[in-house]
């Protein structure tokens, strides 16, 4: 399965994304097809050229806008929906627009349907979003991953950094933010929306095929975005199973021990009833540990339980890929974990805490809320 990893060492923007994907081998002429499909030929010009920033050379994409037309959110959606773009491109592009709209609506206290996105409401935003997802589609990328995002502190004019719109867009996506000393905006709202719509924020095991660099407008050294394209390495990993038998420990203490082991980094903890020697009832406690925590978790198990010893077994596990999406329902928004095999969704699991919150706020039964969220996710993913 072909995957893409966005190495955002200097941030991300829409034009940097276009440049990096073209530098990875996507056909630059596809951007002309994007402009044509969106019917923006009278508003937009696209220039693609090679530039360098510091020691990094790559592709710069300049999307020029003539006679700027600011569109409302419904108008932006309409341009995408009525375009000739493939459905696999329209869906994430609309998702990105909706995330931008929700973020700006919360920031300015305006209903989405009446909202003007100002500098984000122009034709260049449409080209950036539809172009990014169309280029990913052309490269046959089935999954996108992203690195931590650099977040400076300070002000850009009277706007705080990082940009509030970018933070709102990334809210709830699992994005990892790290401090940066660079005194400028590094993650634009458009760049944030692209990642929020499709990316999982972790670094995958990848068999590298191509690397592309998208050059940004700022002249700062290394102002670029790297995208790695390759094949996902099989999700098989080694773990250690730490086990022990307990027949003289109170159940409430075992429950507390399981919580503490999970908090200490265990991948999973399970307790099952067991029949011990001399017919005594007991429990088999199993801890799945990453290799680097075996010593720590084993010591905690010895210290915090009545056992005199633990067993260590090296095991392999095969992991189904997963990602988290946010779905909108009649009762509110909730996150859903999507299980995937071969790059395609096969099942969904609503996030318990989100459903519990909606249940409390709405007065609906938790089971009803979880069914509603799961059904909404299945419809969005085409699993029905």
Residue 56 φ then ψ, to 5°: -105, 125
Give the per-residue SS3 of the chain: CEEEEEECECEECHHHHHHHHHHCCCCCCHHHHHHHHCCCCCCEEEEEEEEEECCEEEEEEEEEECCCCCCEHHHHHHHHHCCCCCHHHHHHHHHHHHHHHHHHHHHHCCCHHHCECHHHCCHHHHHHHHHHHHHHHHCCCCEEEECCEEEECEEECCEEECCHHHHHHHCCCCCCEEEECCCCCCECHHHHHHHHHHEECCCCCEEEEEEEEEECCCCCCCCEEEEEEEEECCCEEEEEEEEEEECCCCHHHHHHHHHHHHHCCCCEEEEEEEECHHHCEEEEEEEEECHHHHHHHHHHHHHHCCCCCCEEEEEEEECCEEEEEEEEECCEEEEEEEEEECCEEEEEEECHHHHHHHHHHHCCCHHHHHHHHHHHHHHHHCCC
pLDDT band for 113, please (50, 70, 90 cuts): confident
d(C-alpha 167, C-alpha 351), whole Å: 21
> Higher confidence at residue 345 or residue 128?
128
1-15, 226-240, 367-381 — which is least confidently predicted?
Answer: 226-240
pLDDT band for 181, please (50, 70, 90 cuts): confident
Note the pLDDT of residue 119: 64
- DSSP bridge pairs for 285: 244, 271
CATH of domain 321-381: 3.10.20.300
Residue 206: CB atoms within 10 Å: 17
Note the pLDDT of residue 212: 97
Note the pLDDT of residue 121: 64
Mean residue pLDDT across the chain? 91
> Higher confidence at residue 109 or residue 87?
87
pLDDT band for 2, please (50, 70, 90 cuts): very high
Residue 49 confidence (pLDDT) above 60: yes
367 Cβ partners below 8 Å, 6+ apart? Answer: none
> Higher confidence at residue 79 or residue 183?
79
pLDDT band for 82, please (50, 70, 90 cuts): very high
The boundaries of every CATH 3.30.70.1380 domain in the chain are 236-318
pLDDT in tens, 165-179: 999 999 989 999 999
Retrieve residue 14's tokens: 């829409």
The boundaries of every CATH 3.10.20.300 domain in the chain are 321-381
- Residues 110-131, mean pLDDT to the nearest whole number: 79
d(C-alpha 261, C-alpha 289), whole Å: 10
d(C-alpha 7, C-alpha 384), whole Å: 35
Residue 234 confidence (pLDDT) above 90: no
- Residues 331-335, mean pLDDT to the nearest whole number: 91
- Residues 223-227, mean pLDDT to the nearest whole number: 96
Report the predicted TM-score, pTM, of the whole model to 2 decimal places: 0.64
Fold held by 236-318? Alpha-Beta Plaits (3.30.70)
Residue % of the chain over a pLDDT of 70? 96
Locate tokens 């994409």: which residue?
A: 61
């Amino acid at each position: 399965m072909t995957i893409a990893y966005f190495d955002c060492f200097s941030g991300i923007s829409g034009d940097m994304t276009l440049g990096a994907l073209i530098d990875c081998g996507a056909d630059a002429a596809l951007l002309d097809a994007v402009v044509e499909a969106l019917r923006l030929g009278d508003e937009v010009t696209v220039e693609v050229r090679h530039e360098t920033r510091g020691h990094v050379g790559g592709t710069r994409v300049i999307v020029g806008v003539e006679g700027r037309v600011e569109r409302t959110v419904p108008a932006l959606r309409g341009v995408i929906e009525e375009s000739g773009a493939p459905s696999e491109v329209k869906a994430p592009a609309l998702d990105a627009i909706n995330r931008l709209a929700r973020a700006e609506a919360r920031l300015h206290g305006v209903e989405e349907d009446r909202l003007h996105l100002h500098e984000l409401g122009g034709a260049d935003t449409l080209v950036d979003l539809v172009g990014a997802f169309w280029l990913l589609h052309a490269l046959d990328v089935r999954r996108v991953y992203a690195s931590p995002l650099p977040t400076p502190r300070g002000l850009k004019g009277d706007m705080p950094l990082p940009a509030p719109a970018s933070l709102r867009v990334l809210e709830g996506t699992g994005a990892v933010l790290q401090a940066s000393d660079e005194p400028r905006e590094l993650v634009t709202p458009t760049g944030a929306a692209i990642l929020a719509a499709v990316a999982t924020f972790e670094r995958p095991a990848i068999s590298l095929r191509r690397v592309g660099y998208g050059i940004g407008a700022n002249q700062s050294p290394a102002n670029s975005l790297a995208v790695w394209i390759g094949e996902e390495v099989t999700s098989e990993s080694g773990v250690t199973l730490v086990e022990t038998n307990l027949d003289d420990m109170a159940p409430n203490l075992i429950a507390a021990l399981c919580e503490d082991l999970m908090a200490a980094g265990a991948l999973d903890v399970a307790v099952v009833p067991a029949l011990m020697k001399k017919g005594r009832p007991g429990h088999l406690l199993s801890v799945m540990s990453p290799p680097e925590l075996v010593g720590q978790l084993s010591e905690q198990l010895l210290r915090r339980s009545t056992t005199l010893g633990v067993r260590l077994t090296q095991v392999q596990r095969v992991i189904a890929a997963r990602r988290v999406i946010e779905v909108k329902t009649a009762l509110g928004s909730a996150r859903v974990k999507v299980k995937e095999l071969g790059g395609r969704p096969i099942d969904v699991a609503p996030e318990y805490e989100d459903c519990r919150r909606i249940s409390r706020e709405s007065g609906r039964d938790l089971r009803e809320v979880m069914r509603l969220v799961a059904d909404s996710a299945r419809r969005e993913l085409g699993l029905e």
